[in-house]
Structure 1
Amino acid sequence: MLARKLIKIDDSWEMSYNKDTSKYFKPNTKGSKVDDPPRKQLPAADQRTNQGDTQEVETPLLAATRTGVIELVKVILNMHPQAVDHVSHKMQNMLHIAASYRRRDIFKLVKKMEIPTRRLIMGIDEKGYTVLHHVADTGNYNGGTRPGPAYQLQEELQWFQMVEEIMPSYFTQHHDKNNQTAKELFREMHQKQLEDAQKWIKDTSQSCSAVAVLVATVVFAAAFTVPGGNDEKEGFPLLLHSPFFKSFTLTDVVSLSCSLTALVMFLSIVTSPFDLENFHVSLPRRLTLGFAMLFMSVLTTMLTFTSTIILIIQGEHRQEWTLTLMISCIAFVPVSVLALTHFPLFPSFITAWYTILKFIWNAPPFRFLHKLVHRYLPSKDQ
């Protein structure tokens, strides 16, 4: 309530600089540097002196953008929409600041305002930076929101692509005062992060490959040592008609398939080139799918083990369900530990499995099934 009252009477943004800076576009690296944009003298009430001669100003809208308070940004833009065109003493508009501090929610909010966005995206600050240069610069980067260096680098690449898509194609070739394009600056600023991501994803893939091999070995051996043994005459499993035996068979097959798929994914990562572009989609996607398959293989391995124990207990002590339940709970301790240690990656797991199921659902056999269902089953209206 207080913020709304203060914003309603605030006019400090009127004292800031709002001149168009797109004329400082510089596509040429040969020769001179970008000229410094002229500064506007600000009223004394709105000036703060730094080292005696630098006049600093930051409007409430820019301050809210820098700190990521999107609620205040919405209120200010609603009451004073013209404030979006005003910039700081560094010639930075709110898109510069949102890009620099990785305020994606605010960036998307401004992006919906099509006409202001077209003007703001052409802004150039006192360093000769465009909005895309601020995405490339890591001066205000705080590590991102995703776990692991590879996923953090992917987040930065996706952020760069999202901003690049709304910029005019020719404007992406602008060179700053150091004669660097945004892509060149991105490569330079993210070199250390790239090295960390390369080491992390390689070590992780090698470690997970060993686990996948271990799980595959265990479930492969379990397929030939069925619980209850086999009939000496015909060779069929003695507990073949038990529902838990079917559960044992199904989970054993799924576990083997998932563990081998995870192994293939991790090996494909280890043998891939670790270029910067590969961290945009290819390598993180393979790692996520590998993690998801490995987690599923461990889960189904525990289900296989539980089915085996229940079959044995049923044969000897049919009434001891308390013991069965206790053993089942203990069997899921490894799965629980794996889930807790990789909890930040769970959204990635869910996304990976959604992608897999969507791919299967859209496969030709299922598409044919869709047509049959829609053709022969009555609709709700009928």
Structure 2
Amino acid sequence: MLDDNSALAIARDVNGETALHVLARKPLAFFKRNTSLCKSYFNRSLTSSYHTNSVESDALKLTRGIWKEILVSLPDLEVKQLIDKPSRFLFEAAELGNFQFLAELIHSYPDLVWEVDEKNQTIFHVAVLNRHANIFNLIHETGFVKEVILTYEDGENNNILHLAATLPPKHRLNPEVGGILQLQQELLWFEAVKKIMLPSYAEKKNSNGLTPQDLFTLEHATMLKDGENWMKSTATSCMLVSLLLTTLVITAAFHAINNIKERTPFSSDVLNVSESVALVSSSVSTLVFFSILTSNYGKKDFLCLLPLKLIVGVATLFVSMSSMMAAFIGRFSVSLPRDGLKWVPTLTFMGISIPVALVILVQLYQLLWKLWDSTFVSRPLSGKGKNHVLHK
């Protein structure tokens, strides 16, 4: 249709909007849905790349055709008027995280990175404020332009690091795992933006006399307190369980000494190994959770140290529980008569292991994997894998 009538590229509807205005507000239209769970997860990890799928979406093709026609048919002044009226769709797209839409436009017309809104903020400022990492990462491809953009301030003298220090909109908050994942991401954002700032601007005060660091502490005080309370509550509960496991293992070990003659050499080795692993892992888990309770809970501790401790503590707690159950099944099977009831250990093992396996799978995914992924795997602001949109 666009090939037959190029005037559609600049045509406006009853609200005065062009097709680009509409497309800017539809970020989901630029992504192909995958029915496969594995493909969906894999593509989610590539959201910082220019083409998240090997096949381009119809919305992206349409945007490319419309933008190409606009740049050919209109002078620069009219192009600026088109993107500014009736609404400034560049900043709407940045607010909604419509990365592919912005990437396509900037690739063909790099001067768009200079555009500012009524607050003197570029699309990178808006991306930081709304925590869209893929859009913000484009700033690394702007060369010397980046050094200028990073000095921009709004009417209250807030620079881009001040924006990184403020809380994002509520719909961008992540309450999972007691909110510590969100606090961790907030710290990552602040450190990533600070890393590219000039030192003088990183310490510059706004109209309220606050440096970015001061503003971050003020804005995230509640989040920090909630994270501390959640960590202490979780560590206390887990430490009680690990202490109970340690007590049970030690009691079982002393009891086994009195019945050592009942064991065969093989069963003796199995029980010794299971009980030793359970004792060591429960002891390690107890010490790790105790170290969490005695931590200072500084802001930067939530970046890596506290999540790592929690990962180690919960993982060793699961190992301890599994080893103790293995020892219990082994001890139970040894105590049974040789000539009968051979089915009892198998039935007992299934009755205990199946619920435990379900708990481990759920908890391991919801807690351990999310912490590990957030701490060590998913780092969209690490600077790796840049988009190369402007120079591809």
Moved more, 178-187 or 8-17: 8-17
- Cα offset, 1:306, TM superposition: 3.3
**Which one has a larger percent helix, Structure 1 or Structure 2?**
2
Q: How do residues 44-59 of structure 1 correspond to structure 2 at under 5 angstroms?
A: 46-48=84-86, 57-59=87-89
Amino acid at match of 1:137: T
- List gaps (5 residues or longer) in structure 2: 1-60, 378-392
Larger deviation, residues 176-185 vs 278-287 = 278-287
**Partner Cα separation in structure 2 for residue 6 and residue 72 of structure 1:** 12
Deviation of the 1:284 alpha carbon: 2.8
Which SS does the other structure have where 2:177 is aligned?
Answer: coil
The equivalent of 2:319 in structure 1 is 296
The answer for unaligned runs of 5 or more in structure 1 is 18-41, 49-56, 232-236, 356-382
Please state how far the C-alpha of 1:181 moved relative to its aligned partner: 1.0
Between stretches 276-285 and 124-133, larger displacement belongs to 276-285
- The higher relative CO (CA closer than 8 Å, separation ≥ 6) is in 2
In 1: Cα distance, 2:334 partner to 2:78 partner: 77
Q: 1:117 aligns with which of 146, 150, 153?
A: 146
Shift in alpha-carbon separation, 1:228–1:354, aligned structure 2, 3 A: farther
| Between 273-282 and 343-352, the greater mean CA deviation after superposition | 343-352
SS of match in other structure, 1:222: helix
**Is the 1:254–1:297 Cα contact (8 Å) retained in structure 2?**
yes
TM-score, normalised to structure 2, is: 0.69
Q: Displacement, 1:108?
A: 2.7
Change (3 A) 1:94 1:193: same
- Corresponding residue for residue 228 of structure 2: 198
Report what 1:66 is aligned to: 95
Identity of paired residues, percent?
A: 23
The aligned residue for residue 69 of structure 2 is 9
1:286: Cα distance to partner? 2.0
Question: Which residue number in structure 2 is paired with residue 177 of structure 1?
Answer: 207
Cα separation, partners in 2 of 1:118 and 1:353, compared to 1, 3 Å = closer
TM-score by length of 1: 0.71
Structure 1 segment 1-382 matched on structure 2, within 5 A: 1-10=61-70, 46-48=84-86, 57-60=87-90, 62-141=91-170, 142-144=172-174, 146-226=176-256, 229-231=259-261, 238-240=263-265, 242=266, 244-312=267-335, 315-317=338-340, 320=343, 324-332=345-353, 333-341=355-363, 343-347=365-369
Structure 1 position 79, deviation (Å): 2.2
Conserved 8 A contact 1:58-1:89? no
Offset at 1:165?
Answer: 0.9
Partners of 1:130 and 1:193 lie apart in 2 by 23
The CA deviation string for residues 94-133 of structure 1, in whole angstroms up to 9 with x for no partner, is 2211111111232234335444433332322233221111
Structure 1 range deviating more: 327-336 or 179-188: 327-336
CA gap of 1:114–1:46, structure 2 versus 1, over 3 A, is: closer
Deviation at 1:4, TM superposition (A): 2.4
Aligned residues: 313
**1:334 partner letter:** V
Contact kept in structure 1, 2:303 and 2:375, CA below 8 Å: no
1:137 deviates by: 0.9
What is the root-mean-square deviation in Å for CA atoms of aligned residues? 3.4
